[in-house]
């Protein structure tokens, strides 16, 4: 196989701390290498270096093996060397390029134009434009012939199975549909290297399986290589030809996906026991809640359609369902971010029931101050440290000592150890892994001391071992400070382990509601296949 990239002794330091240490491996044309590891292992930093973005490495090299046209500077994979340039007819010549060498800056830009990256939890779409317009923008970026662009965009949407959504407004799509539009936009670049960083962490298993097949099919159809990172063994097993285990910034294993996954999962255990908690009084009541949108393309869209439920103090209440079922819209209604079209919703604050369907500081505004929401597309202030992000969330000035104490306690609740909590306080979000940023965002919600916490896909970018820490932190918060949670998730194992009751949604409606085991026991075989999160345990 012809090599595509070779990474040699790559090291990366942030603020004196080594986050990548002597990374060396190669990727061939038409090969898929999977990188698995815990949150904070260095996967995202490595992907950014390979892509050529952010800061240069501290030492080491990333060599791209290319074929270059010296007449027009078109670049392609090295196996095309000796053939005619598709742009000007010149002859493509083989060349090895050190991506981060200062004298290769012009070539670096051309190489980057032929690579693409899918970031985790970032949909990067023109929200007010139609789906096909989003793909047309990507084609325009590479100067694709305008007279052929519409047909090419339609072909790409066929590839990602979104032809039936091409005229929809992008912001109205579900998370899974948005991710497929992102994939179509990346494929429009005609890359010879695709970097997929946790591409399906927040998708339901059925949609994730569709995206996995598309990623693999995109590689098999040409010379494109791919590097995919994930916390989940199923992603690596489904997609990768070879696998790498990254731990604390170093490669600890390279081999077949099965071999590497077995090594990764050997530390997977969950032995801590929690007592059964007696739930308190009802603190949230919803009756016949509806949310309707008017869409130019689809007319009236019933995102939430006649939903009724209660949540008790100290309860961990789950909302489950496929992408597009209405879970996120419902969670935003509960949080007071979205106003329902019809129905009744009230939250108990102290001894009073507050009507959340009415605007104003005495109604929804008052209740919102006691509700915390961590949604899928969360964000942190990129130029503020972790402790500043946390204390700014409270909006109060604390003495330094008290601020540090409060921040450390809250970070521990979000799944960090005390040592790690103190270590990251003065770091910027960009120097954390995506999983670490997600937990800081969760701490940003918890530090406000809400009475009700809503977590939308809390485990999407968290590895199975860290997921245990987060699960335990939620259970400790419930036991220690009488916290109440609403958890929206595709992760059936997480829901099964942590939720007292769940509501199953489909098409904007609650199909079934009750004790978690009872609802999951009544899932159809098709629903089990669609919703049972793969890859979180060995052999699954």
Q: What confidence tens digit (pLDDT) does each residue in 71-113 have?
A: 887 899 999 999 999 888 899 999 999 999 999 998 999 899 8
DSSP H helical segments within 397-508, as ranges? Answer: 400-413, 418-424, 434-446, 464-481, 492-498
The CATH code of the domain at 270-370+498-540 is 3.40.50.300
Quick count: other Cβ atoms within 10 Å of Cβ 332? Answer: 20
At 11 the three-state DSSP class reads strand
Residue 496 has pLDDT above 80, yes or no: yes
| 376-402: average pLDDT | 77
Do the beta carbons of residue 500 and residue 315 sit within 8 Å?
Answer: yes
Residue 207 has pLDDT above 90, yes or no: no
Starting at the edge strand found earlier in the chain, the sheet holding 299-312 runs 299-312, 282-295, 342-349, 352-355
Q: Is it true that domain 3-265 has CATH number 3.90.1170.10?
A: no
* pLDDT confidence of residue 429: 86
| 65-69: average pLDDT | 93
Question: Which residues, at least 6 apart from 394, have a Cβ–Cβ distance to it below 8 Å?
Answer: 447, 448
Instruction: Report d(CA 212, CA 215) in Å as an integer.
Output: 5
| 356-365: average pLDDT | 90
Confidence label for 533 from pLDDT (cuts 50, 70 and 90): very low
Question: Would residue 461 be called left, alpha or beta, if left means φ above 0 and alpha means ψ between -120 and 50 degrees?
Answer: alpha
* pLDDT confidence of residue 485: 92
Instruction: Report d(CA 442, CA 458) in Å as an integer.
Output: 8
pLDDT per residue as tens digits for the range 324-349: 788 888 988 998 888 899 999 999 98
* pLDDT confidence of residue 535: 38
* pLDDT confidence of residue 40: 76
* pLDDT confidence of residue 238: 83
Instruction: Report d(CA 496, CA 316) in Å as an integer.
Output: 11
358 class by beta-carbon count within 10 Å (0-12 exposed, 13-18 middle, 19+ buried): exposed
Do the beta carbons of residue 2 and residue 225 sit within 8 Å?
Answer: no
pLDDT per residue as tens digits for the range 251-302: 999 999 999 988 887 766 666 666 677 888 999 999 999 998 876 666 777 8
Q: What is the pTM of this model?
A: 0.64
DSSP H helical segments within 482-534, as ranges? Answer: 492-498, 516-521, 525-531
| 125-136: average pLDDT | 87
Confidence label for 439 from pLDDT (cuts 50, 70 and 90): confident
Bridge-based pairing state of the strands 509-515 and 501-506: antiparallel
Do the beta carbons of residue 303 and residue 321 sit within 8 Å?
Answer: no
Backbone φ, ψ for residue 199 (5° rounding): -70, -20
Q: Range with the lowest mean pLDDT among 25-34, 426-435, 444-453, 492-501?
A: 426-435
Residue 20 has pLDDT above 90, yes or no: yes
* pLDDT confidence of residue 113: 86
* pLDDT confidence of residue 376: 66
Q: Where are the CATH 3.40.50.300 domain residues in the chain?
A: 3-265, 270-370+498-540
């Amino acid at each position: 196989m012809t090599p595509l990239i070779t990474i040699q002794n790559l090291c990366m330091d942030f603020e004196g701390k080594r986050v990548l240490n002597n990374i060396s491996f190669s990727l061939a044309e038409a090969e898929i290498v999977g990188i698995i590891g815990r949150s904070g292992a260095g996967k995202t930093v490595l992907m950014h270096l390979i892509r050529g973005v952010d800061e240069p490495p501290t030492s080491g090299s990333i060599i791209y093996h290319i074929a270059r046209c010296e007449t027009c500077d078109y670049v392609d994979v090295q196996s095309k060397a000796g053939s005619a340039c598709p742009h000007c007819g010149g002859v493509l010549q083989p060349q090895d390029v050190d991506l981060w060498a200062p004298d290769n800056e012009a070539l670096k830009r051309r190489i980057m134009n032929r690579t693409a990256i899918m970031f985790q939890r970032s949909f990067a779409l023109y929200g007010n434009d139609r789906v096909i317009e989003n793909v047309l923008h990507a084609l325009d970026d590479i100067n694709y012939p305008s007279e052929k662009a519409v047909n090419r965009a339609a072909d790409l949407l066929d590839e990602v199975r979104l032809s039936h959504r091409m005229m929809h407004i992008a912001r109205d799509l579900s998370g899974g549909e948005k991710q497929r539009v992102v994939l179509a936009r990346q494929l429009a670049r005609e890359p010879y290297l695709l970097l997929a960083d946790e591409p399906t962490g927040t998708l339901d298993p059925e949609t994730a399986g569709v995206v996995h097949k598309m990623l693999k099919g995109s590689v098999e159809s040409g010379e494109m290589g791919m590097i995919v990172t994930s916390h989940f063994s199923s992603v690596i097993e489904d997609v990768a030809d070879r696998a790498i285990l990254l731990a604390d910034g170093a490669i600890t294993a390279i081999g077949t996906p099965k071999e590497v996954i077995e090594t990764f999962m050997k530390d997977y255990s969950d032995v801590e026991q929690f007592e059964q908690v007696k739930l308190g009084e009802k603190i949230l009541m919803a009756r016949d809640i509806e949310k309707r949108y008017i869409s130019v393309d689809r007319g009236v869209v019933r995102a939430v359609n006649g939903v009724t439920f209660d949540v008790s103090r100290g309860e961990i209440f789950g909302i489950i369902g496929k992408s597009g079922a209405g879970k996120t819209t419902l969670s935003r209604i509960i949080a007071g971010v979205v106003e329902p079209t019809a129905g009744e919703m009230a939250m108990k604050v102290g001894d009073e029931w507050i009507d959340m369907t009415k605007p104003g500081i005495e109604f929804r505004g008052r209740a919102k101050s006691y509700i915390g929401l961590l949604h899928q597309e969360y964000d942190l202030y990129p130029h503020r440290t972790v402790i500043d992000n946390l204390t700014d969330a409270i909006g109060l000035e604390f003495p330094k000592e008290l601020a540090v104490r409060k921040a450390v306690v809250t970070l521990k609740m979000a799944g960090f150890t005390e040592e790690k909590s103190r270590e990251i306080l003065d770091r910027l979000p960009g120097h954390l892994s995506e999983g670490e940023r997600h937990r800081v965002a969760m701490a940003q919600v918890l530090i406000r001391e809400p009475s009700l916490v809503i977590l939308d896909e809390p485990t999407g970018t968290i590895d199975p071992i860290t997921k245990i820490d987060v699960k335990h932190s939620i259970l400790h918060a419930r036991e220690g400070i009488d916290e109440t949670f609403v958890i929206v998730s595709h992760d059936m194992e997480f829901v099964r382990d942590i939720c007292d009751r769940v509501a199953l949604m489909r098409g904007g409606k609650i199909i079934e509601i009750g004790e978690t085991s009872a609802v999951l026991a009544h899932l159809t075989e098709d629903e089990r296949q669609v919703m049972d999160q793969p890859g979180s345990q060995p052999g699954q």
